[in-house]
Amino acid sequence: MRKSRRIAALALTAIVMGSVAGGAAQAQTGAEATSVAYSSRAQAEALRINLFGTDITASDATAEVSAPPTGAVTAKGFAGATLLGPVSSGEATAEQSGDGQQSVDAAGNDECPTKALEAVPGIGFVEATCPKASASVAGRATAAEGLGSELNLDVSVSQLLDTIQIRDPVSDGIDQVWENVLNPIVEPLTGNPVGDIVKETTNTLQDLLQDILHLNTTVRVSVAPVLAQASGEGAASQAYARAQAVRVEVLPVDELGPYDGLLPDDLLPGEPLLTVIVADAEASSSWDGGTATHDSRAAIVVIRVGTVALLEPLGLSDTEIRIDQPGQRICLLEGTPLESCIALAHAGTDADGAFAEGASIELLKGIEGGVNIQTGTVRTGAEGTPGELARGPEPVSELPRTGGSVLPLLGLGMLGLAIAGRRFGLGARES
């Protein structure tokens, strides 16, 4: 009898201790939560164009978001451009503490001012969009973007070419130097040496290209907008940056003719002799709450030749050549005033994140400096503090009770009954 009472007392004691411990654990549920921080940023540096000595444009964009463990959550976006004078979107900044929401847009004029460009000698057509930026915060969710200018322009080089004399006044024919330069191009195009097709009025390079070959002496340049984006939500963030894609068309065939049967059949009206396309250089970074990941891709260049007749004089094997190896460089018509070179830079990752450098295009280098385009470098980064977002108490299955949990009180009551029963039993034996 005494043994069974002791077992019962121990059992009740275990119930009491379990009840008290369970109450304490329940009270601490959700109390030991950690806070997480994230941030990400994207930057696209300026693209630069120089046309025969004149700087035309430079454009850049940045985006950045940040969510610290405590304090305000922020997002910032910026984009700017220089079109013979600065044109800026201004900076769009959204900052919010707590669970509020905020959204900000910043932009220049609806129509980006191009009068300064239109006044540049030789520019016949110009079209540009203004840079834009945006930023938003909603609780711990963030987003920011910077979008640079888009640019399209036609540059006539006729005034420059009109100053280049190709006729030798002594021999009354094509100057020997220019004949050596032009003949490897003109003869494959026309089937005739340059000296056989010139007229008495053909005095300049402009006369030859415009009046004899019926080529529009223009350089068409199209530039896509640079882009920087950053965003985050919960414990994760991302960043992406893209350099400006570029398309350059050199000496398109006059769409109106006449052609006099001189040009090859595969060189269609409106088609340029040479097209250079620079694809985007890209970089991206992400943070998933515990690990940062970075990726990048260098710019890729495609060269297109308008006719197979030019492949041999240009030293090319196909009408479309792809340059996709970082550090690769190719030059055409080396040693002549028409020399043109294209080179790629590198891409990779470093301690700050991902980067991708742009491409370099130098066309018609021997004519007043030619056309020079340098696409900018893009960079991204993302990081944070490992952990889980701060959270409130876990939901419980029972309905809430006023005054806390009843289990600890029930356990204490049962302990009291056990002690009282033991004393009652002892007193009965003593009596």
> For 152-186, what is each residue's pLDDT tens digit?
888 887 877 887 888 777 666 777 777 887 888 88
Q: What is the pLDDT of residue 375?
A: 84
Strand partners, 242: 227, 282
pTM of the model: 0.74
> pLDDT, tens digit, for every residue of 232-285?
998 899 999 998 889 999 888 887 765 666 788 888 888 898 999 998 889 999
Contact 407, 67 (CB under 8 A): no
Alpha-carbon Rg for the chain in angstroms: 37
- 227-241, 320-334, 369-383 — most confident range: 227-241
Q: Is residue 426 part of a domain?
A: no
Whether residue 354 is predicted with pLDDT greater than 60 in this model: the reply is yes
Q: What is the pLDDT of residue 258?
A: 58
Q: Is residue 291 part of a domain?
A: yes
Q: How many domains does the chain have?
A: 1
DSSP H or E stretch at residue 7: helix 2-28
DSSP-based three-state secondary structure for 220: strand
Q: Is residue 34 part of a domain?
A: no
Contact 74, 93 (CB under 8 A): yes
CA angle 305, 256, 201 (to 5 degrees): 90
Q: Is residue 409 part of a domain?
A: no
Domain that holds residue 183: 47-384
Whether residue 231 is predicted with pLDDT greater than 50 in this model: the reply is yes
Q: What is the pLDDT of residue 63?
A: 94
User: What whole-number distance in Å separates Cα of residue 145 and Cα of residue 103?
Assistant: 12
The overall average pLDDT reported for the chain is 77
> pLDDT, tens digit, for every residue of 207-230?
888 888 888 878 888 988 889 999
Q: Is residue 39 part of a domain?
A: no
Q: Is residue 286 part of a domain?
A: yes
Angle between helices 407-430 and 2-28 (to 10 degrees): 160
Q: What is the pLDDT of residue 426?
A: 42
Residues whose CB is less than 8 angstroms from the CB of residue 403 and which lie 6 or more positions away in sequence, other chains included: none
Q: Is residue 32 part of a domain?
A: no
Q: Measuring CA to CA, how many Å separate 19 from each of 25, 142, 353, 393, 408?
A: 10, 45, 52, 20, 5
Q: What is the pLDDT of residue 113?
A: 65
Whether residue 430 is predicted with pLDDT greater than 80 in this model: the reply is no
Q: Is residue 430 part of a domain?
A: no
